[in-house]
Amino acid sequence: MKTHWTQQDILDLIKNQIEESLNLEYKAADALDKSSDSKKREIAKDVSAMANSDGGTIVYGIREYGDATRRHLAERIDPINRTNASKEWLEQILGTNVFPRISNITIEPIPIGESPTDVIYVVTIPKSDTAHQASDKRYYKRFNFQSVAMYDYEIRDILNRSQNPVIDIEFAIERETYEVRSSVPEIPVLGSGRREPEFRTDIELLVFAYNNGRVLAKYVNCHLEVPESVLLSDEHPDPDVFEKDGVRYVKRNRDNTERDVVRIGGQGAFSYPNYGPARYFPILPKTRTSLSTNLRKRILLNTDLQFYDRKIFWTVNADNAEPIAGECFLRDITIKDKPVH
């Protein structure tokens, strides 16, 4: 969900004829009429419906087309006079007309034109893990561009969200340069001089799980689709490759399992760890854990950054929660360098 808006972003909605959806709604300036109680009830209804559904954005200050064929498309900017309807007034309406209060809701004023009083309000509403009631004592959801009353079973489904973990997937790219050492001890030869050290650079995609819910996550499974073009050529067997929208992807899986080292086999330079059975490592609420353990094949990337305009797609399952899907551009992932060793 977009978190920072500019005037250009607003103009792009109109220019590109972006249609309203489950997560996007346009409202003209008169939707914030302070003198109308019905308008205040409508504000509470629309915002609570977003929170009860999948979250989303309501843009106050965009007028839609009036004809039926284009009624859900943005026609033009319809600025709000901030002296008549301030951000603080809108916050108060939401705080006193939606029960319980919606956490982490943001209201962003976007200045429009030359007038210091003309603004557009972009209200960003997160998906909630509880059901929110509007001021008319009803519960609403988003359906076909509208806010409609919910059935009893739908309200119960929302209330069950707080019974399951909510897992967000995060990524980092780690670049590590290290000296390549032979596993066989080198025997010095008189007069041969010292061998110049050989270095190698690995670029690894790291995967993390953040439990954004209120309950413990016991079992987490993440299914990744990584563009084949960004992987080292020897990083995947053929059965893992598939094509989507003309791009070849490789499947990778991660989970929150760990295995303890029970003993060390071999001797000296030829020693190796022996692991015990895998066990799931629970993820506490509001904590982050790595899903990139040494028990699974590393996701190594090539060094050709021109391919980093590709997307990674992911789906995560946790306990009894509904699967959550997402996507991320590789170019948006932070690259961190480890010290050379």
Each domain of the chain, given as residue ranges in start order, spans: 7-162, 167-183+193-337
DSSP state of 321: S
Separation of alpha carbons 282 and 218, rounded Å: 5
Main-chain phi, psi angles of 200, to 5 degrees:
-135, 145
Q: Which pairing describes strands 56-60 and 24-27: parallel, antiparallel, or unpaired?
A: parallel
**Does the structure show a pLDDT above 70 at 197?**
yes
Q: Residue 79 to residues 43, 92, 101, 112, 123: CA-CA distances in angstroms? A: 17, 20, 27, 7, 15
Alpha helices in 72-217 (DSSP H): 87-97, 152-159
Main-chain phi, psi angles of 97, to 5 degrees:
-125, 0
Which residue reads 């004809």 in tokens? 67
What pLDDT is stored for residue 113 in this prediction? 85
**Does the structure show a pLDDT above 60 at 237?**
no
Band of residue 160 on the pLDDT scale cut at 50, 70, 90: confident
Q: What is the CATH number of domain 167-183+193-337?
A: 2.60.40
- Joined together, the tokens standing for residue 17 give 């004829």
Separation of alpha carbons 228 and 38, rounded Å: 54
**Does the structure show a pLDDT above 80 at 341?**
no
Alpha helices in 98-184 (DSSP H): 152-159
Count helices and strands (H / E) in the chain: 4, 23
Cis previous bond, 273, omega within 30: no
Average pLDDT of the chain, as a whole number: 87
User: What is the per-residue burial (b if ≥16 Cβ within 10 Å, else e) of 2-35?
Assistant: eeebeeeebeebbeeeeebeebbbbbbbebbeee
Band of residue 139 on the pLDDT scale cut at 50, 70, 90: very high
Main-chain phi, psi angles of 311, to 5 degrees:
-105, 150
Q: Which of 28, 104, 90, 96 is nearest to 59 (CA)?
A: 28
On whether the CB atoms of residues 328 and 312 are closer than 8 A, the answer is yes
| 125 sits in which H/E element | strand 118-125
- Joined together, the tokens standing for residue 46 give 């629309």
Tell me the pTM. Answer: 0.58
Q: Residue 56 to residues 24, 29, 128, 248: CA-CA distances in angstroms? A: 6, 19, 11, 31
280-336 pLDDT tens trace: 999 999 999 999 665 567 888 887 766 678 899 999 999 988 898 988 888 888 888
Specify the CATH class of 7-162 in words. alpha beta
What pLDDT is stored for residue 135 in this prediction? 93
What pLDDT is stored for residue 236 in this prediction? 56
76-103 pLDDT tens trace: 999 999 999 999 999 999 999 999 999 8
Separation of alpha carbons 309 and 289, rounded Å: 26
